[in-house]
Each structure stands twice: as C-alpha cells, then as structure tokens.
A and B are shown apart, each in its own frame.
Chain A
Amino acid sequence: MPGKTPDKEPVENGGYRGGKDMTDKDLKPKGKKASKKEGDDEMTVVVPPSKASKHSSANPPNDAEGDVAMDDADKAAEGEVKADPVAQTINDIKSNFALLDRAVALFDARFTLRALRSISSIRKRLTPDILAQAISETYQPSSASALVAKQMLQVIGRPDVSLGRQPGPEMEIDSEPKATGKNGAKKEVKEVIPEVDVFLGILTQVLLHDNKQFQQGFGFSHYLVEQIRSVNRRTLDSLSAKVYFYYSLFAEQLAPLPPSPHSPIVSIRPTLLAALRTAVLRKDVDTQASVIVILLRNYLLTSHIAQADLLVSHTQFPENAANNQVARFLYYLGRTRAIQLRYTEAHEHLTAATRKAPSSACALGFSQTATKLLLVVELLMGDIPDRSTFRQPSMEAALHPYFLLVQAVRVGNLEDFETIVADHADTFRRDGTYTLILRLRQNVIKTGIRMMSLSYSRISLRDICIRLHLGSEESAEYIVAKAIRDGVIEATLDRERGFMKSKEVGDVYATREPGEAFHDRIRACLALHDESVKAMRFPMNQHRLELKNAQEAREREREMAKEIQEGDLDEDDLGGEFEGM
C-alpha cells in the first residue's frame, strides 16, 4: 500500500503523455479505419504495410517517453524495451489501461476515446500470443472478471494460458526486477475495472476480425454484448459503441451473406434495437449514433428500405455524435432517400456526407462510394456534376465509369447511354447504383430534347424521333409534351404539321433564380460561421487568467495616469501612444 501513491502517479502521467502524443499521429489511422468500416465492399482491406512500418518506427520514442516518466532510474533498461516489439506492444496496450482508469476517475470520455484511437496502431502488431500475455498479466485468477478473461483466451485459441502471470517473462533477460515488482504491487491492490475488460474484448474482436475468424468472433461478440448490457456505467459508452460495431461486422461476414434474408444480420436486429433503446434512455450518445448507423446499414444490406425509413423517422440521430458517425448516417440516409425518389433530400444528405468524410487519403473508400452515389443523384436531378470532381487524382480511376455515364447524359445520347450501362453493369451493380442508373433513361431523353430545343428554333417530331432513337413519332410527341409541361424546355407543339417550335429563351437574370442561389450561398456561409463558433473550445479557467491580466493592465494604466498627473513623464514618452490612438 505505501508503494502505491508514488508509483501510480508517474504511471498515469506517462500513460497520459503517451496518449497525447498518439492523438496527433493517430488521426490518420483513424480515418483509415473509417474507410475500412464504411465505405467499400472490400471491407477487409488490409492496411498498406508501408504505413504500418512507418508507424511502428514512429512509436518507440513515444513510449520511451512514457517509460521515462514511469521511472527515471530505468533509463538503462529502456533501450531493450524499445527493441522488443512484443513487450512494447504489451506496454502500449497497458498504457491504455491508465487512460481508462483516468476516464473513470475524472468521468471524462475524452480519455476513453484516446484509448480507442490507439487501437489502430496496436492492431498492426497484435498477435494471439501478445494478446494472451496481456490478458494473463492483467487478470488475477481470483478476480471477478476472470470469466471474461478466460473467454477471451479461449476464443483467440490460447486456452492454456493461465491468468495472473507476472509481467514480462520474456523480459527476464532485461532483468528488470524493479518494474516487475512495481506492476505486481499495483495489480494486487486494484480490481480490474469493467472498462479494461471491454477494451481487451475489443482488441480480441479486432484480432479475430483481422484473422478472418468470423464465426468465433461472432460468438464472442455476442457474449461481450451480453456482458456490456449487464453493467450500467456511463464511462463504458464509447467502448460499447465499438463493440456493437464489430458485432455487426462479424454478422455481415457470415454465410449466408447479406442479401439473403437468412443472413445472421437479421437475427442480431433485436439485440441492436434493444441496445438502441437502452442507449436513448441513458442518453448514451456514442452507442446511440453508432447503433443507428449499424441498423441502417443492416436494413439496407437486405434492401429493407421501408424499415430503414421507419427507423429514421422514429429515431433522432444525436446532434453531437462523432463526425465519422454523422458522415455515415448521412450517407445511408441519402441512399434511402435516393431509392425513394426523394432526390433533393438525398442530394442534400450526400453532399454533407462527402464533405464530412475525413479528407485524408485514408478514408478514400468512403469518399469514393459517397461521391459515386452523389453523382448519380445529381444526374437524376437533372444536374451535370462538375468536371473537377473527376479530376481528383484519388478518385479518377474509381469514377471513370461514372464519367462516361455523365458524358452520355450530358449530350443526351440514348444509344451511348445504353452501351455504357451495359458495359459497366457489373461495376454499377457492385456499387449498388445500378437500379438508380436505370432510372436515368428518362433524363437522357429529356436532355436530348433540351439540346434540340436549344439548337433548333423549329424541328419536326420525326427528326426528334430519329435523333433520340425513340420508338415512334407518337411517342416523341407525348414525350415532348411531357417535357414542356415539366418545364424542361420552353416550346410549343404544332399537331397538324408535326413540329416543335422553341420559344425565345428568357433572360435568366430577370428571374428569381440567381437571387435564390445567392441566398443559399450566403446562408451556407453564415451557418458555417455559426458552427465554427459553436465548435470552439476554450481551456478551463483561462478567462480568469485573462481577467487577471486585464486587471494588471488597468493598474498599470492607472499608475501611468497618476504619473502624468504628477508631470513625471515627458511629452515624448506619450507621443507614441497618442499616435497609436
């Protein structure tokens, strides 16, 4: 007991500092994870190795710093610690426990988030052995959550590892008796908090997912979810959000695969809905946001559009959810709306989703998928997307089929359009945009008619019919009439002589359109300003410091005024100030 206080403090400090360093560095991997989760069908994209190596090479100094803080006397041993990747990973994992401890003690979710963020860097180095060791060093066989620990060991295929092992058997060569003793002492006095259970559980999930052991992962996730639901701790919120996320990810990977109504994702819906209900009641924003997104994805995978729509209309997506979740939510919402032919709403949501998507190259999958859908919706609305969208180097290749599509629609060439749809049908189907693209046919026709009405002041229906490859003159007549009614073109038809006569195009600037466009932009700018004001964060108690400064300044001023009164100051001294005024 006496050893506790002096020891604990530095450890926390070190962990804290280590975590802080990581936040900057980990921004990127976080983005990458988002892309992996979200975006493409190739969900199990493996992280490029170059990045991983860069990362691990960047890490040691950071951890070394932690070690320094932990115990200055250990400086000599530190070199070896750094060299051993296994021990270092275990240390990384454990440094997060400190963060979780702190999160519980201070009731501040930011520390938990920091711990979660470090998962992506640990992930690349994680092996069953490392995790098993970390688990066995964390838990005592007698501790309350030993059952959870056993379950974890079982599922990663190391059931024979016993709990309560003293840390660092590999480190024996390093002969670090001091550190060992210290850690051991710490553990004896402290019961493992549930946050640590769940954190290790998430690591187990990650490991199983990376090793493609989906069946075990699903079983374990189910167990973990049950575990989470049995405790009611607010500090667990952001962790459980993650657990649910992996839970559904495992379910998606199991046969029969999603489009089939017998996929396991259907069977996890009740659990997710229950989780959502609980999260709403407990005002658990993280879980709420993430479970809504998971459910939406779940419904859309089995094409239960009506249910997805009902879910959206009956729940309120938390306003202060994490940015990534908001982006995902908007994407799925946009998708639902696009299918329901509510293009304006779909466009709004998808634009927001693409803007909110992490801008780093790592979340590319999500950006690409969202952009593809956005392009199709724009086409369906009768707009032609910007050429610059296709020029971005990161998007160019992925968007190529869509580029061709846009070209066909822009020109209004029905024949081209149909060949492109046929050529790239597989791509479109994989992107889930095929049915939407089929709806574009009428837009192509309308554009064709518009082009014709712009270029000719008078054209016979027969010519229209031939140019647009329509079935018959009667069809052409009806189609043109409909286009006129829908306001696509300004023209009149002459039935007796069978031609279309275009009206003079009015001046756009005389209408209210430019004013409205202007108004929209101004409103967007003002909203942006408001949001950035709201998003500002100020350090605690800073204002008091400023107040103090202000008070000092005032005192100085008063003194100066006094001196002036007394005539101590020369005119020259004051000169500068007057000019300034």
Chain B
Amino acid sequence: MAEGKVSFELVSPERLLLSEEVDMVVVPGEEGDFGVLTRHTPLISTLRPGVIQVHNGVAVSESIFVAGGFAEVTPARCTVLAEEAVAVGEIDRAATEQRLSDARDDLLDAKDDAEKASAERRIAVAEAMLQAAA
C-alpha cells in the first residue's frame, strides 16, 4: 500500500463498483460529511443520501451519488456499502424528477406510517440526487 493513501472501496449488492488507492475520500455520514485520510480512527457510520467525493492530489477525481448505506473505516481502508450508486455526471435529471413526483404522489396516497416513511425516504433520496446533479 502506497504511503499516505487510503484504499477505498465502493460496493453495491450487485457488484464491486470501485476499488482504488486514493488520497482522501469525503463521505456523507448520517451526522455530517466526514473526510477519510489514512490512519483514520476505526468508525462505522450510516450514510445519508449524498455525494461521495474521491480526492486524488488536489483535485476531486470522482464524485459519486449514493442513496444511503453504510461506511466502515479503518486506518488503512474505507469501505462504503451502498444500495444505489450513480456517478454524479450520469444522473438523469428527468428520470429523477419523475421519481421525486412519484414519491410525492405515494406520500399523499400513503395509508399507514410505514408507507409514509418509505415515501418520505424516497423523496429525500430524489431531492438529494437533484441537488447533487445541479
């Protein structure tokens, strides 16, 4: 492992999306974004919908939107388990807006708390996605 690098992995249930050595990665944690450099303290966190930024050198080499998930950080690596991940450049605005309005409709139609919560969650995801694409 290169000195000063942290090995970053982004995994979705279907496949390993990304696995590389990076300088820093900024992860949208439940309680706020956090940056992971090498020798970070061991941490497990849930994620809110947001953008993961991969930093190499001074530049952001990759921005990936995740709809939520988990992150596991150890001094040498950072693993993100995401249920849905899209590169920010590939977000389809029209499709996302459709999703947002669908979710809003579902919220209005929701019969019980569980449906309501699920619709609210989807609204949050779609809104964050639009924000990321902006």
Q: Is A bound to B?
A: no
Residues in A lying within 8 Å of B, measured CB to CB: none
